[in-house]
């Protein structure tokens, strides 16, 4: 992997941390001060988190213009990632070698989902435009020439 991938991965993980804080914060706010039920509150907090992390990943992680980022792909990728997380966790605690270790199973599920999400987002949701690729290649050839 080149340095760009490592920078993207580092930023992706940072945005994930921010997303978790937003998700937890909105959920807490809706459930405790406002007294709303947890399940609908979680749906709202998840929606807010998806919107914020989409913008952060487009602008900060992958540095693509919003017009070339795909919210549709982002939501689909997030949904598949959530399924990977939940299904791998469930398999590990119900049938796998980690049946008495739910927190370790959660970590494994989260790592698998994050790897999927990062790879797919980089390829589909935040693919640079042709013009960006051309500009990058021209800049590299000028700096090495």
**Predicted pLDDT of residue 119:** 97
pLDDT digits (tens, 9 = 90+) for 55-104: 999 999 999 999 989 999 999 999 999 999 999 999 999 999 988 899 99
Helix (H) or strand (E) holding 43: helix 38-56
Whether the predicted pLDDT of 132 surpasses 90: no
CA 125 – CA 110 distance, rounded (Å): 20
Flag whether pLDDT at 131 surpasses 70. Answer: no
As a whole number, mean pLDDT of residues 128-144 equals: 67
Residue pair 57/121 in contact by the 8 Å Cβ criterion: yes
Helix pair angle (38-56, 3-31), 10° resolution: 150
Instruction: For residue 143, give the H/E element and its range.
Output: helix 130-144
Residues 36-46: tens digit of each pLDDT: 999 999 999 99
What does the pLDDT look like over 1-24, one tens digit per residue?
A: 455 899 999 999 999 999 999 999
The structural domains of the chain, with segments of one domain joined by +, span 1-63, 70-128
> Model pTM?
0.83
Secondary structure (3-state) at 76: helix
């Amino acid at each position: 992997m080149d340095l760009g991938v490592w920078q993207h991965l580092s930023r992706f993980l940072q945005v994930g941390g921010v997303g978790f804080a937003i998700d937890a914060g909105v959920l807490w706010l809706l459930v405790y001060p406002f007294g709303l039920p947890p399940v609908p509150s979680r749906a709202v907090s998840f929606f807010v988190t998806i919107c914020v992390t989409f913008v952060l990943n487009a602008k900060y992680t992958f540095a693509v213009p919003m017009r070339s980022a795909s919210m549709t792909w982002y939501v689909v990728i997030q949904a598949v990632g959530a399924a990977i997380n939940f299904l791998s966790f469930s398999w590990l605690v119900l049938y796998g070698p980690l049946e008495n270790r739910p927190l370790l199973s959660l970590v494994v599920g989260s790592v698998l989902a994050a790897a999927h999400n990062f790879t797919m987002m980089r390829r589909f949701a935040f693919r640079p435009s042709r013009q960006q690729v051309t500009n990058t290649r021209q800049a590299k050839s000028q700096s090495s020439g």
